[in-house]
Amino acid sequence: MTDIQTKISLTGGVDFWHTPAIEDAGLPEVMLTDGPHGVRKQSAASDHVGINDSYPATCFPPAVGLGSSWNAELLVAVGVALGEECRALGVGVLLGPGMNIKRSPLCGRNFEYFAEDPLVAGVLASALVRGIQTQGIGTSVKHFAANNQETDRMRRDSQIDERTLREVYLRGFAKVVTSARPWTIMCSYNKVNGTFASENHFLLTEVLRDEWGFDGFVMSDWGAVHDRVKALKAGLDLEMPAHAAHEEGVRKALAAGEIDEATIEQAYARIERVLRLAIASLEDAPESFDVDAHHALARRTAEQCIVLLSNDGVLPLAQETKVAVVGEFARTPRYQGAGSSRVNPTRLDNALDAITALVGHDVPFAPGFVTAPGQELAASAHDDAVAVARDADVVLAFLGLGESHESEGYDRDTCDLPAEQLALLEDILAVNSNVVVVLSNGSSVLLPFAARVRAVVEGWLLGQAGGPAIADVLYGVVNPSGKITETIPHRLEDVPSFLHFPGDTSGVRYGEGLFVGYRGYDASGTDVAFPFGHGLSYTSFGYSDLSVSSSDAGLAVALTVTNTGERAGREVAQAYVSVPGSKVVRVPRELKGFAAVTLEPGESRRVEIAVSADELAYWSVIDHSWVVESGSYTVEVGSSSRDLRTSASVEVAGNEPVRPLSMESTVAEAMTVPGFEAVFAPMMTIFGEDPDLVRMMESMPLAALVGFSGQPEDTFQPVLDGLNAARH
């Protein structure tokens, strides 16, 4: 029988990466290690920021790339591979996926997150979790919650109104918890509305467990616990890594009666249950994984992450096209983010070698600029790149952000590409207008040159096999099908969160509310460089025969998608929903479902998109619950949030609660209740027949109306009680 003092020890990590062994319970140490897009098992001294070496593992595209695939089935396959590698490396829980909302393109850790939209983030994170956990390896979905910046991330207060918190920042987490059942959740560093996430009973118990039914354990981000007693009482189970003073604080609090044994027993039981699942899967684990097969999967995955932002027909390139390659990123790829998620790849391919292999001969190349501090280039590097570009039929300019520009721990100062790269591009355009820009970046960058180059290929960060994937897209071996999951603006000032990011020591106010990302751009009518969901193909697609039906389960959307071009291709049909006559504040349209279809030239196929009733609901602050509003809904389906090809309206039967009339109800609200008009008529005489006065009166609380009429409130309340009783 394990005593309570021993059980306390399991609520903190024994070191940086392991839970403690509990010998009398037969519970060995279990290793937790960083992900999310690869296994980062360190081989030297422990550190959390990726400084020390780690065992080789497959580096798949980070979430910034995976998000653009819109392919849940693919992410399940990636998850299975990650789980296999965890087993081979003796890792019981992989720390990921990260799924915070991309509130601002400046967030330094956006490369670890899927989207500015909670539906995409929730669907794709769920797929990754399911894949990993099929191998008996746990996941730790993070960072719960409202960790949308790196500036002052360990203490800044995310101040978010109730509806926005529920509909934007918690909704994706809810989808993962309820549909994929992750073994663990990792709480964030920051405060949420005044309380640290690690001590936030509302988040960790009321929402996560009581509402969503989460049955795993909650661990802290590394160093996120300030008081383990408060954290345990709030619903946290495991502090990582353990802080000796915090553990001693729990023992003293138990002795003083400030925390009860039941709370400790509960945390111990949650942790033990999950660890035993991992231990069982590791007992017969293989000692290796299929390196070649996983590298091939990383390449197939990268192919679907690439987004063709613009193209005037120059792409795909013919094999005989005389190209010049400019930019160090072609030779030294930026393939993952910096910080705790840095993976030591089993191999690393680059685009320059892949292009050379594809065309069968060396191509002219000039690095042009440095991509990391400490790199040295000849003084003539800029001029050499311009000279190489001058005589080419097409210049492939590989531009982007180096690791020092975006990383865990700090945010970006600007959305611009580095000045030296922009200057080089200008000089190349002066001697050769046939330029294709290929980007490597972990979050969106401004593209003031987009209209002056012949194509822009958004490569994001593509993992260890991204180089050949880029080459295959450029030359048409692969037809691009990626769609961006973060809007690319013309100006940083256009970003909806611009005025409220990153806040200051008093906190960061999420002043844009519901209008984050494309929701805000659409509401203000702001022109953008490339809209949410955008991505071109080397073929074209037609949309027709849309049908929408409504039931208690939600909406059934079906349409026909036809490949109207000359190449096989994959299209992602996106369904956006709006409620034109809504009685609550709404954004112009919200993504509520999507489906991908791969078609041969001339082929048509019926595509079905299910929109659950849960997705139709808004969070009612009055009722503190999800409400589906009755009325006419508009469903628009298209290739992006601003390329909507077909639409239909459908009547939806909602579940609005019957709200009792009170003296704080308005006259307009009361007038919708049968029988009230007869009560109200005698009081109307004080307004006469002036329509403006009558209109003004509609927003008046009943208490004010009764006061103006000269009647005592206590005689009016029984009338309201009677009307309320008649409605139930």
Q: Residues 323-341: pLDDT tens digits?
A: 999 999 999 999 999 888 8
Provide the pLDDT for residue 417. Answer: 98
Per-residue pLDDT band for 717 (boundaries 50, 70, 90) equals confident
Q: Whole-angstrom Cα distance, residue 698 to residue 201?
A: 40
Report helix angle 261-283 to 244-255, nearest 10: 140
* Residue (of 81, 538, 486, 73) closest to 290 by Cα position: 81
* Highest mean pLDDT of the ranges 404-408, 457-461, 683-687: 457-461
What is the rounded average pLDDT of the residues 442-465? 98
Provide the pLDDT for residue 684. Answer: 61
Provide the pLDDT for residue 463. Answer: 98
Q: Whole-angstrom Cα distance, residue 546 to residue 561?
A: 10
Phi and psi at residue 410, in whole multiples of 5°? -155, 155
* Tens of pLDDT, residues 103-130: 999 999 999 999 999 999 999 999 999 9
Provide the pLDDT for residue 547. Answer: 98
Provide the pLDDT for residue 722. Answer: 85
Average pLDDT, the chain: 95
What is the rounded average pLDDT of the residues 563-590? 97
> Are 4-283 and 541-652 equal in CATH topology?
no
* Tens of pLDDT, residues 145-190: 999 999 999 999 999 999 999 999 999 999 999 999 999 999 999 9
* Tens of pLDDT, residues 208-239: 999 999 999 999 999 999 999 999 999 999 99
* Residue (of 275, 279, 189, 278) closest to 236 by Cα position: 189
Which tokens sit at 572? 């992602």
Is residue 48's pLDDT more than 70? no
Q: Whole-angstrom Cα distance, residue 248 to residue 297?
A: 47
Beta bridge pairs of residue 40: 34
Active site residues: 221
Which tokens sit at 133? 């956990």
Which tokens sit at 79? 């998850």
Per-residue pLDDT band for 457 (boundaries 50, 70, 90) equals very high
List Cβ neighbours of 46 (8 Å cut-off, separation of 6 or more): 15, 16, 17, 52
Cβ atoms of 389 and 434 closer than 8 Å: no
List Cβ neighbours of 311 (8 Å cut-off, separation of 6 or more): 454, 455, 456, 536
Provide the pLDDT for residue 44. Answer: 65
Domain residue limits, the chain: 4-283, 301-510, 541-652, 667-726
Tell how strand 195-196 and strand 191-192 pair up.
Answer: antiparallel
Per-residue pLDDT band for 699 (boundaries 50, 70, 90) equals confident
Q: Which residues of 158-187 are buried (b: 16+ CB within 10 A; e: fewer)?
A: bbbeebbbbbbbbbbbbbbbeebbbbbbbb
Provide the pLDDT for residue 698. Answer: 80
* Residue (of 61, 93, 77) closest to 131 by Cα position: 77
Is residue 252's pLDDT more than 90? yes
* CATH no. of 541-652: 2.60.40.10
> Residue 105 is which amino acid?
P
Phi and psi at residue 454, in whole multiples of 5°? -85, -20
* CATH no. of 301-510: 3.40.50.1700
Is residue 281's pLDDT more than 90? yes
pTM of the model: 0.95
Is residue 593's pLDDT more than 80? yes
| 3-class SS letters over 566-632 | CCCEEEEEEEEEECCCCCCCCCCCEEEEEEEEEECCCCEEEEEEEEEHHHHCEEECCCCEEECCCEE
Q: Please report which helix (H) or strand (E) contains residue 173, including its range.
A: helix 171-180
CATH architecture of 4-283: Alpha-Beta Barrel (3.20)
DSSP code at position 340: T
DSSP code at position 238: B
